[in-house]
Amino acid sequence: MSPRTRAPGAVSGALGLGERFFASPAERRLVDAIEAALVDVEEGLLAEVGFADDLADVTARYLLDAGGKRVRPTLALLTASLGRGITPEVVRAAQAVELTHLASLYHDDVMDVAPLRRGVPTAQHVWGNSVAILTGDLLFARASSIITSLGDRAIELQARTFERLVLGQLHETIGPREGEDPIAHYLRVLADKTGSLISLAGTVGVIFSDAPDAYRAPIERFGDAVGVAFQLVDDVIDLSAETEQTGKSAGTDLKAGVPTLPLLKLRARAADDAGAAALLERVEAGADETAIAELRAHPVTSETLEEARRWSREAVDAISVLPDGPVRKALTRFAEAVVERTK
């Protein structure tokens, strides 16, 4: 699908709601308004990734053209219905959030030495690390330009989110400090690296629609919790043998040395469990298919999925103060759908 348009059903697809989730006329009007605004978001994104420099124009458009569900802009447009609805400022803020997300992907892929992103070779695989890093910087600059036009509140939000993104990556890179619980450290990394941008997306919808300020903190907590749940499910999916569904071989993250919660839980058990210690040794020695299959079947993986469900429930609890209606309904279903994913 061209980035210039979003097909009907984009809202349901982005949030995992199902085509018939919004049944009432009022709910359908809300969806229609969001889908119309997503077209405006896409038009703006396409304009923002255009540069006079030919190389920058190609590299900056690379991941945008590769697709993406636009989950974060959709959330911004959805939460705007808690206030005056989708204002021009909400649309611009949604574009800034998505550009920030895109920029972070360029940097993350360099840090993780990732071979693929959105089904295509990563930017650093095509152009090298330096070009990928600089392209991410360009997109951060464009996002900052948009944010600046929205005033001090937006600047403060963006700065705080950017700080969390960098700290999350820093803490992931360095690892837990001596005496720090590795699992608690890992969950904090997930909240900072993934939850922060989801939180920002929902928050800008609240702020730039002039929704009641009391909704801001619950939406922020919702975003952090959904982000953690999303990444924990990714940890489980990484062990999946269904390569056609996931688009990558089982244990990709493990083989790349990326920490995941099943591995951290296995390490915690290894001190008192000979079977866990033996499996851990095999996983850390190279993670062959048999070892990955055993880890997939081990209780630590089902425990990881249950931990993801706990974070999903925490997200739903956070928005219990929102008024009954399509926004709360959609956010609730989104949090539930996050832990039902298989890819």
Q: What is the pLDDT of residues 142-151, one digit of tens each?
A: 999 999 999 9
How would residue 55 be classed by pLDDT, with cut points 50, 70 and 90? confident
Same domain, 206 and 221: no
Q: What is the CA radius of gyration of the chain?
A: 20
How would residue 246 be classed by pLDDT, with cut points 50, 70 and 90? very low
pLDDT for residue 295 is more than 70: yes
The answer to whether position 2 is within a domain reads: no
pLDDT at 8: 56
| 172-186 mean pLDDT | 95
Last residue of one domain, picked from the residues 211, 243, 260: 211
pLDDT for residue 52 is more than 50: yes
| CA–CA distance, 24 with 26 (Å, rounded to integer) | 5
How would residue 327 be classed by pLDDT, with cut points 50, 70 and 90? very high
Same domain, 225 and 192: no
pLDDT at 97: 97
Residue 111 or 23, more confident: 111
Percent of the chain with pLDDT over 90: 73
Last residue of one domain, picked from the residues 188, 211, 234: 211
Provide the 8-state DSSP code for 116: E
pLDDT at 285: 86
Q: Which helix (H) or strand (E) holds 81?
A: none
pLDDT at 247: 47
pLDDT for residue 248 is more than 70: no
Same domain, 51 and 174: yes
The answer to whether position 8 is within a domain reads: no
pLDDT at 242: 59
Check which CATH number belongs to the domain holding 255 and give it. 1.10.600.10
DSSP string, 17-72: --TTS--SHHHHHHHHHHHHHHHHHHHHHHHHT--SSHHHHHHHHHHHHT----HH
Same domain, 94 and 158: yes
| 297-324 mean pLDDT | 97
Residue 100 or 118, more confident: 100
Same domain, 295 and 232: yes
| 34-60 mean pLDDT | 92
The answer to whether position 11 is within a domain reads: no
The answer to whether position 7 is within a domain reads: no
pLDDT for residue 3 is more than 80: no
113 in Cβ contact with 123 (< 8 Å)? no
How would residue 7 be classed by pLDDT, with cut points 50, 70 and 90? low
254 in Cβ contact with 287 (< 8 Å)? yes
The answer to whether position 9 is within a domain reads: no
How would residue 1 be classed by pLDDT, with cut points 50, 70 and 90? very low
pLDDT for residue 167 is more than 60: yes
The answer to whether position 205 is within a domain reads: yes
Q: How many domains does the chain have?
A: 2
Same domain, 107 and 249: no
pLDDT for residue 287 is more than 80: no
pTM above 0.85, yes or no: yes
| 115-123 mean pLDDT | 86
Last residue of one domain, picked from the residues 211, 243, 266: 211
The answer to whether position 301 is within a domain reads: yes
The answer to whether position 14 is within a domain reads: no
Q: Which residue's structure tokens are 């056609």?
A: 244
Task: Give the Å distances, CA to CA, from 279 to 76, 237, 263, 282, 293.
Answer: 43, 19, 10, 5, 11
Residue 2 or 291, more confident: 291
| 98-112 mean pLDDT | 93
pLDDT for residue 213 is more than 60: yes
Same domain, 185 and 226: no
The burial of 60, by beta-carbon neighbours within 10 Å (0-12 exposed, 13-18 middle, 19 or more buried), is given as buried
Same domain, 45 and 158: yes
Same domain, 193 and 264: no
pLDDT for residue 69 is more than 70: yes
Same domain, 126 and 59: yes
Same domain, 340 and 227: yes
pLDDT at 257: 72
Residue 216 or 7, more confident: 216
Q: Round the average pLDDT of the chain to a whole number and report it.
A: 90
Q: Which domain holds residue 233?
A: 215-343
Residue among 209, 227, 265, 223 at smallest CA distance from 93: 209
Same domain, 112 and 80: yes
| 93-107 mean pLDDT | 96
